């Protein structure tokens, strides 16, 4: 222990450090790698924060009203009148959730994501459930937002409707790329589209109400819808469940408290209040106006587009509204591209997901998580054919499950700490938790057959996967533990060189083998007797006095006789380590590799699973020709 051990640190900081595994296309798309020291947050103002963290929540007004009306329309045109009371309930729910989350913001100034809050207060199991729900939620956010964004575009340009899946995938690919490059939460990028969208919707609503109320805009009678289901309480609940998608993304601000300027918590809470107010107003306004205009959901044009058409005509203003909607929806998808990889990082750091998800890429983003999200979102777009309505039933369950768990976690926290004023705070969170819990049950049950079952099964699978991964890592850590380990030096070291002929590559391998150990044997597997004869002849000259063993192979397999030989060898010399040296070629062009037998590859694969045998390739580099 007292002996001197040299530990040296080499730090060659190179501005243009170029990882060897990059190729030029990657550099072109992603830019130069960034140093770890370049990471770090910039603090942002409330105005910018509202833009950055609200795009997900605000963008839901693009589809929430429509989803309510779509369910109601099953019971015929008259049933559409129930849209307004249902939207009011949703708005009330928003109020409760916002109040509840303000408390999370104050309690977790370091960021209070549902996974963190639930794990800390309710334990690992519920935390993982929240984690599973959120991962799916973020994935669905991308899919729904992109699908709805494409719908905004195809409402304005109907000829693109048949290409909607392709457009969606291209958008996902662009966002993935942008995130791999590393989008900072920069106000310059996010503020304009968000405020532009708010402005567009506000302008449209004001103009609309003015034209309907004051000018008495003539509204065409709605088309008579065929009644396919009776108007039951269940249908109303289903419509309410669909409307609850308006609340998705509300939790974003509470995750991101550290990004605010000081005093962080206060600023974040204020921003949350503003966001909820804007979201509620827009959502109610759109619903009321849709009702006044007697609009009916159509598969080829969104409700928002219909309103814009009715209020603004078909001019430039209309296209501006559609562009604003599409933009904010793309931003909303982009939000999930920072949330998903960050949550995956937390889960991977805690050992519940593969460690690769905790690595930072060239540009400091969690590249693996970003790529994974992009691929899954593209897959979902294909499966659901870019149809927003088909994905919505899967969406809200996970969101409300994480709301519920996170707020119940807060309840537990207040109860455990019993700080001054804890009773009121606990009550607030309890109200929020119970309300969202009830809503979650309503959503899960009314939407169960329409797709919620898929999400529930996926959440269960994710949950068990988390546990399985954690168990494996725990097992590996135990296996690798040095506790009580006594190094036992191997009693000797032998080298076996596998040869298929006598040539320069083989002689080089023999030289290397001799540098490793004095106990070297060469082994050749005989498939063709004539080849052995040639080897024999030349061995006397080039074999360096190393003994050669020829293994006859009746069945022309190279691997099998070699394995038998090594098993025999290990049996006779139980404590020895055996190194198998394989002379290999490295060709200068990839297709040249097709021209050489892939036996070395097979041998490596077979020996990988033999303990006590180490395989080494000694490469002979072929020149370029």
Judged by CB under 8 A, the residue of 159, 220, 481, 518 near a second copy is 481
C-alpha distance from residue 297 to each of 65, 104, 232, 294 (Å): 10, 37, 20, 10
Using CA atoms, how far apart are residues 499 and 566, in angstroms rounded to an integer?
Answer: 15
Would you count residue 461 as binding a second copy (CB under 8 A)?
Answer: no
Nearest distance in Å: CB 143, a second copy:
24
Nearest distance in Å: CB 125, a second copy:
21
Judged by CB under 8 A, the residue of 40, 518, 545, 574 near a second copy is 545
Nearest distance in Å: CB 189, a second copy:
25
Nearer to a second copy, 47 or 503 (CB): 503
- Are 296 and 66 in contact by the 8 Å Cβ rule? The answer is no
Q: Where in 516-535 is the site for a second copy (CB under 8 A)?
A: 516-517, 526-527
Query: First vs last Cα of the chain: how many Å apart?
Result: 55
Judged by CB under 8 A, the residue of 199, 210, 464, 475 near a second copy is 475
Name the nearest CA neighbour of 179 among 339, 382, 18: 339
Judged by CB under 8 A, the residue of 29, 35, 95, 206 near a second copy is 35
| b/e burial code for range 224-233 (CB count within 10 A of at least 16 → b) | ebeeeeebee
Would you count residue 490 as binding a second copy (CB under 8 A)?
Answer: yes
Radius of gyration from C-alpha coordinates of the chain? 33
Nearer to a second copy, 2 or 315 (CB): 2
Judged by CB under 8 A, the residue of 196, 458, 563, 569 near a second copy is 563
DSSP codes joined into one string, 216-274 = ----PPPPPPP--S---HHHHHHHHHHHGGGGTTTTHHHHTGGGBPSSHHHHHHHHHHH
How many chain residues are in contact with a second copy, going by CB under 8 A?
110
Nearer to a second copy, 262 or 541 (CB): 541
Other CB atoms within 10 A of residue 272 CB:
28
Nearest distance in Å: CB 142, a second copy:
23
Would you count residue 21 as binding a second copy (CB under 8 A)?
Answer: yes
Would you count residue 17 as binding a second copy (CB under 8 A)?
Answer: yes
Judged by CB under 8 A, the residue of 128, 440, 561, 570 near a second copy is 561
Using CA atoms, how far apart are residues 411 and 422, in angstroms rounded to an integer?
Answer: 9
Judged by CB under 8 A, the residue of 457, 511, 533, 534 near a second copy is 511
- Are 615 and 608 in contact by the 8 Å Cβ rule? The answer is yes
Would you count residue 23 as binding a second copy (CB under 8 A)?
Answer: no
x/- letters, 578..597, toward a second copy (CB under 8 A): -x-----xx-----x-xxxx
Would you count residue 24 as binding a second copy (CB under 8 A)?
Answer: no
- Are 16 and 1 in contact by the 8 Å Cβ rule? The answer is no
Nearer to a second copy, 83 or 131 (CB): 131
Contact segment (CB under 8 A) with a second copy among 85-93, 235-243, 378-386, 541-549 equals 541-549
Using CA atoms, how far apart are residues 574 and 504, in angstroms rounded to an integer?
Answer: 33
Judged by CB under 8 A, the residue of 482, 518, 571, 590 near a second copy is 482
Contact segment (CB under 8 A) with a second copy among 4-12, 108-116, 173-181, 276-284 equals 4-12
Would you count residue 291 as binding a second copy (CB under 8 A)?
Answer: no
Would you count residue 316 as binding a second copy (CB under 8 A)?
Answer: no
Using CA atoms, how far apart are residues 534 and 513, in angstroms rounded to an integer?
Answer: 22
β partners of residue 582: 617
Would you count residue 11 as binding a second copy (CB under 8 A)?
Answer: yes
Contact segment (CB under 8 A) with a second copy among 46-54, 387-395, 436-444, 604-612 equals 604-612
Would you count residue 131 as binding a second copy (CB under 8 A)?
Answer: no
Nearer to a second copy, 429 or 494 (CB): 494
- Are 371 and 362 in contact by the 8 Å Cβ rule? The answer is no
Nearer to a second copy, 332 or 581 (CB): 581
Would you count residue 162 as binding a second copy (CB under 8 A)?
Answer: no
Name the nearest CA neighbour of 498 among 613, 621, 622: 613
Contact segment (CB under 8 A) with a second copy among 84-92, 256-264, 376-384, 481-489 equals 481-489
Question: What single DSSP character describes residue 622?
Answer: P
Would you count residue 371 as binding a second copy (CB under 8 A)?
Answer: no
Long-range contacts at 116-123 (CB < 8 A, ≥ 24 apart): 116/346, 117/406, 117/409, 117/410, 117/413, 118/402, 118/405, 118/406, 118/408, 118/409, 120/409, 120/413, 121/409, 121/410, 121/412, 121/413, 121/416, 122/405, 122/408, 122/409, 122/412
Would you count residue 181 as binding a second copy (CB under 8 A)?
Answer: no
């Amino acid at each position: 222990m007292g002996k001197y051990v040299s530990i040296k640190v080499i730090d060659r900081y190179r501005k243009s450090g170029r990882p060897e595994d990059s190729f030029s296309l990657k550099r072109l798309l992603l830019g130069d790698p960034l140093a770890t020291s370049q990471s770090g947050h910039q603090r942002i103002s409330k105005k910018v924060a509202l833009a950055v963290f609200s795009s997900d929540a605000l963008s839901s007004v693009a589809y929430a009203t429509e989803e309510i009306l779509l369910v109601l329309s099953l019971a015929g045109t008259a049933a559409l009148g129930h849209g307004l009371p249902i939207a009011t309930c949703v708005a009330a729910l928003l109020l409760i959730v916002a109040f509840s989350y303000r408390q999370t913001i104050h309690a977790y100034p370091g960021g209070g994501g549902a996974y963190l809050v639930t794990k800390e207060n309710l334990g690992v199991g519920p935390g993982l459930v929240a984690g599973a729900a959120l991962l799916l939620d973020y994935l669905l956010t991308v899919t729904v937002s992109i699908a709805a964004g494409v719908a905004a575009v195809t409402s304005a340009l109907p000829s693109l409707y048949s290409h909607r899946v392709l457009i969606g995938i291209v958008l996902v690919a662009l966002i993935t790329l942008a995130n791999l490059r590393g989008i900072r939460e920069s106000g310059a990028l996010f503020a304009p589209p968000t405020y532009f969208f708010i402005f567009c919707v506000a302008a449209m609503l004001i103009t609309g109400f003015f034209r309907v109320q004051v000018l008495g805009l003539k509204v065409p009678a709605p088309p008579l819808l065929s009644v396919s289901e009776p108007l039951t309480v269940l249908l109303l609940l289903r419509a309410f469940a669909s409307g609850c998608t308006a609340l998705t993304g509300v939790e974003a601000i509470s995750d991101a408290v550290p990004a605010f300027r000081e005093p962080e918590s206060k600023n974040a809470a204020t921003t949350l209040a503003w966001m909820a107010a804007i979201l509620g107003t827009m959502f109610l306004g759109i619903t009321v106006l849709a009702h006044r205009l007697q609009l009916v959901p159509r598969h080829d044009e969104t409700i928002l587009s219909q309103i814009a058409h009715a209020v603004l005509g078909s001019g430039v203003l209309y296209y501006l509204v559609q562009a604003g909607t599409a933009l904010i929806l793309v931003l909303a998808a982009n939000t999930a591209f920072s949330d998903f990889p960050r949550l995956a990082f937390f889960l991977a750091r805690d050992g519940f997901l593969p460690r690769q998800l905790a690595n930072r890429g060239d540009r400091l983003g969690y590249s693996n998580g970003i790529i994974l999200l992009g691929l899954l979102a593209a897959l979902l777009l294909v499966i659901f054919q870019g149809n927003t309505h088909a994905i919505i039933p899967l969406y809200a369950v996970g969101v409300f499950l994480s709301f519920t768990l996170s707020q119940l976690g807060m309840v537990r926290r207040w109860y455990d700490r019993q700080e001054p004023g804890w009773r009121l705070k606990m009550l607030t969170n309890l109200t929020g938790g119970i309300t969202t819990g009830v809503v979650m049950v309503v959503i899960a049950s009314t939407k169960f057959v329409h797709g919620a079952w898929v999400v529930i099964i996926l959440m269960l699978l994710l949950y068990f996967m988390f546990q399985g991964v954690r168990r494996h890592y725990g097992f590996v850590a135990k296996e690798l533990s040095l506790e009580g380990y006594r190094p036992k030096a191997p009693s000797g070291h032998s080298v076996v060189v596998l040869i298929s002929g006598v040539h320069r590559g083989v002689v080089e391998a023999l030289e290397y083998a001799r540098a490793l150990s004095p106990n070297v044997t060469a082994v050749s597997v005989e498939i063709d007797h004539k080849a052995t004869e040639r080897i024999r002849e030349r061995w006397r000259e080039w074999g360096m006095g190393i003994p050669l063993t020829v293994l006859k192979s009746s069945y022309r397999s190279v691997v099998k006789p070699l394995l038998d030989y090594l098993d025999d060898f290990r049996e006779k010399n139980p404590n020895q380590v055996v190194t198998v040296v394989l002379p290999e070629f490295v060709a200068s062009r990839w297709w040249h590799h097709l021209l050489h037998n892939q036996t070395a590859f097979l041998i490596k694969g077979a020996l990988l699973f033999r303990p006590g045998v180490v395989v080494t390739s000694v490469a002979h580099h072929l020149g370029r020709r």
